[in-house]
Each structure stands twice: as structure tokens, then as C-alpha cells.
Amino acid sequence: MSVAVEAGWLYAAVAAWFIAGCIVSHYARRGMGRGVAEYFIANRRLAAIPSALTYAATTYSAFMLVGLVGWTYSLGSSAHGFELTYLIGTVILLVYFAPRIWAAGRLFGYVTPSELLAKRFESRWVGLIAAFICVAMIVPYASVQFMGIGYLVEGLTDGAVPFAAGALIAMVPTLIYAYWAGMRSVAWTDALQAFIMIVTSLSMLLYAVNALLGGWGPYLERLSAEAPELLKVNWPLLPYLGLVIPWFFFALSNPQVFQRYYVPKDVATLRRMIWGFAVFGFLYTVISTQFGFICRLVVPGLEPKVADRAMPLFLTKVPAIMAVITFTGIVAAAVSTIDSIVLTLSSMVGRDIYRALRPGASEDGELLVGKLFIPVFAVACFAFAMLRPGPIVVLSAMSSGGMLVLVPSIFAAFLWRRATAPAALLGMVVGVMIVGMGYFLGVSPLGVPSTIWGLAASAAILYVGSYVTKPPAGAEEFMRRVGEELKKHEFY
């Protein structure tokens, strides 16, 4: 029997969580200094716990307990494999690239991902185009967080709290946490969110398995008997690759996580950030995909196109207090991702767009522009979410696919001194156009998804174009200094 949760319970839980976040944000602000680096990357002085947890909370969002649950509900083990592939890819990229990005940020004072590309390729246009691509492509991904909360409150309260009100619940804390004290506020509130995410989701999982399904043994027996197709790999290879490849390179393509490689205060902190994220990510992935299997047993019969509603419907089958606790954890996951995205995009507007168009702009002017765009991006993401443009997982993959075209240039920045600015620039532009046309026109030439075509085009143009154009004069010096810094800190 389904029981709608009273709106008052949800509002009370969100209010308590929000007040706790504001207290954390207030104390984070007390250690805040002045300047762009201070506001947007905490002056590169974050300790291990906030570094690891802000990375984890930024990465794992409402997508997990709404979108991934819905996907597992429809696809079963294939969805679990998809998410684990992402986690493995992220850890591999972190181990190799995070130290290099951290070292480059320390040496050259980088604040944003696109600034690194602009300075490495000695072209403000490379940074400008990279920033525009990130801004355009990440808004749909951020809107997914609003959509996840909107679907949840709508389903939990049987429509008493509308979709728009749920999305607004996510937007207001995002504005306050991001604007209040920049990265320090976001990082420490993210640490709180990560704790809430893991505790609430694990508590609900243990309750569901034992109270609703009779324990792990009976649960697995029912799953094998009632939904055996979920235990098989049943995803065609090319569509799978079209979605998994953008996620595999998420750690480099998405600016909100890339920027976090600048913030650890030292080498030990950076290492702890990487392994702390790996442990958190594995645990949260297992929890989220188990909910997909459980929802299939508790609320069967949903069509794939509405599978995102599996988790909201499941929460109407449990006691109201458990539903509210889990809901709070999902709100925490969503807000921790949105405020990070909003903060990073705002820093890119100020540093990579405003200063590129006005080279003589002051640091105070850059900071002001960046802060002014925090509410602009928050409202833009909210407005996009109101359109409900598609399934959460597909929107997330499309956004990551668009930013995937930046990856060849990021690889080349650290691995290939011959790479040139014109080739990088053209590769990005052509690649993102291919990805966009593929999604909007619904075409996949030769059955290959447009994300793969876009990545291939970006890489091919960068490679060929670099042999017919002049490489940056300082490329070798950049790579030498980064290499020396890595040896100094015993990274190899």
C-alpha cells in the first residue's frame, strides 16, 4: 500500500538540514581571505577530509539515487557495470592526472580548468572556447539535480508538493552555500552532505532488505525468481559505449571536479582525496544499484521511460520517517553537486571569459563578475529543469559527451609538446558540433553514438592539425617544470 508523505514533514527535514549547512558555511567563512584564488579554490589550502568529501559529493549527485536507480530498474546488472566502469576510469585518471594538474596549479597559479588550457597552449581563445563549451554543456547536467528533487517530492507527497517546489528546494541552498563563502563554504557543506548521503542511503538499504524483503537471502531469491533478466548483461555494445565513454573521462572533462585538483594543501592531502573518493564511490555505487533491484521487486511494472520515478514510488512504501530521512540524503546529494557546478562556472566566466575579453581587468572586477553569475547560473539550471527535457541518465550522459571533446587537449597539454592551439581549438569546436547534432537530430552514423564521433573528431583534428601548425613556444618548459615538481613531491 502506498502512503503519501505529508508535505510538512519534508519541509521540516529540509529546514533542519539547511540550518545545519548554514552553520557549517558560517564557520567556513571565518577562515576566508580575499582574492579570486581564495574565493574559488580556497587558496589551495583544503585539508584531507573536506578535499575527499567535496570531490565525492560533487561527483555523486541526485543522479545516483534517482537516475541510476531507475536505470538499474530497467537494465539491471548492465547499469551496475556502467557505474563501476565510471568509477574505475575516474580512479585511473585521478592517479595519473590529478598530481599533474595540482602541480601545474601551484606552479602557474591556475584557478580554472580552461585557464590551464589557455596558458599551456598560449591562446586565450582556447580557454575562451573551452569555457563556453563547459557553460553550455553543464547546464543540462546541473538541471538533472533539480529534476531529481522535483520528481521525488512530487512522488512522495502524491502531488501535494509540486515538481517546481521541489526544484526550488534545491536552488535556494545552492545560492546561499556557493555565494556565502565560495569554495570554503561549498567544500565544508559538501563534507556534511557526503556524510548525510552515505548514512541515510545505507540506513534505508538495510531497512528495505530486512523489513520489506525478509533479509538478504530471501531478497536474492526473489530477485532471481521474479526478475532474472536483471542479472544478465543485456545492453548492446555501441549504445553502451556511447554512454560509458563520456563517464569514463568525467574526471577530466567536467570542470567542477577538475577544479578540485587545485585545492588540496599538500601531496598527502591529494593522495587521501583520491583514495577517500574511491572508497566512498564504490560503497555509494553498490548502495544505489541495489536500490534499483529492490525497487523492481517492491514497485514492479514501470515502463523504462518513467523508470526515474521508481525511487519516489518506493519511498511511499516505507514509513514516513524513513522516507523523509532518505529524501534529505538525496537533497544533500543534489545540492552538493549543483553548488559546486555553479561556483566553478562562475569562476570560469570571470577568469576565462571576462578577462579574455578585457585583458586589463582587475582581480576585484573578475571576482565581482564571477559572484554576479552565481545566481544567474542557479536560475538558468532551475529554468532548464522546468522543461523536463528527458530521462535523467540520458541528459547527464549528453552533457558529459559534449565536454568529452576537451579531453584530447587536456591529454596533450601534459603528454605531447607538439600539440598546437589552432588544432586544439578546431578540434573542440568540430567535436562539440558533432555531439550536439547527433543528440538533437537523433542520428548515429554506422550505429556509433555521436559522443564517440565527437571525441574521435576532436582527437584526429588535434593530432593532424598539430603537424601543420606551429607549437607553443613554452610547451617544453611547461612540461619540464611540471615533471620536476612531480619528482620533487615523489610522484612518478
Percent of the chain with pLDDT over 90: 43
Q: Which of 63-72, 116-125, 238-247 has the highest mean pLDDT?
A: 116-125
Nearest-angstrom CA–CA distance, 179 and 371:
7
The tens digit of pLDDT for each residue in 386-395 reads 877 655 556 6
| Range 7-390 has CATH code 1.20.1730.10 | yes
Positive or negative, the CA dihedral 88, 93, 99, 103 is negative
Mean pLDDT of 404-412: 96
Q: What angle do CA 467, 471, 476 make, to 5 degrees?
A: 120
Q: Is 275 exposed, middle or buried (0-12, 13-18, 19+ CB in 10 A)?
A: middle
Residue 37: φ, ψ to 5°: -60, -40
Above 70 in pLDDT, residue 396? Answer: no
Between 26 and 227, where is the model more confident?
A: 227
Lowest mean pLDDT among 47-61, 117-131, 200-214, 288-302: 47-61
Percent of the chain with pLDDT over 70: 97
Can you give the pLDDT at residue 389? Answer: 64
Q: Which three cell numbers stand for residue 229?
A: 533478466
C-beta neighbour count of 269 within 10 angstroms: 20
Contact assessment for residue 33 and residue 43, using Cβ atoms and an 8 Å cutoff: yes
Residue that is written with C-alpha cell 578540485 in the block: 260
Predicted confidence band of residue 82 (pLDDT cuts 50, 70, 90): confident
Can you give the pLDDT at residue 1? Answer: 46
- 68 residue type, one letter: L
The tens digit of pLDDT for each residue in 163-204 reads 888 888 888 888 888 887 788 888 888 888 899 989 999 999
First to last CA, the chain: 58
Task: Name which of 227, 329, 239 is nearest 284 in CA terms.
Answer: 329
Mean pLDDT of 216-229: 94
Delimit the domains of the chain by residue range.
7-390
Task: Give 212-256 as a 3 state SS string.
Answer: HCCCHHHHHHHHHHHCHHHHCCCCCHHHHHHHHHHHHCHHHHCHH
C-beta neighbour count of 52 within 10 angstroms: 28
The tens digit of pLDDT for each residue in 419-453 reads 999 999 999 999 999 988 887 777 778 888 888 89
What's the pTM value of the predicted model, to 2 decimals?
0.90
Above 60 in pLDDT, residue 150? Answer: yes
Between 120 and 303, where is the model more confident?
A: 120
Contact assessment for residue 245 and residue 400, using Cβ atoms and an 8 Å cutoff: no
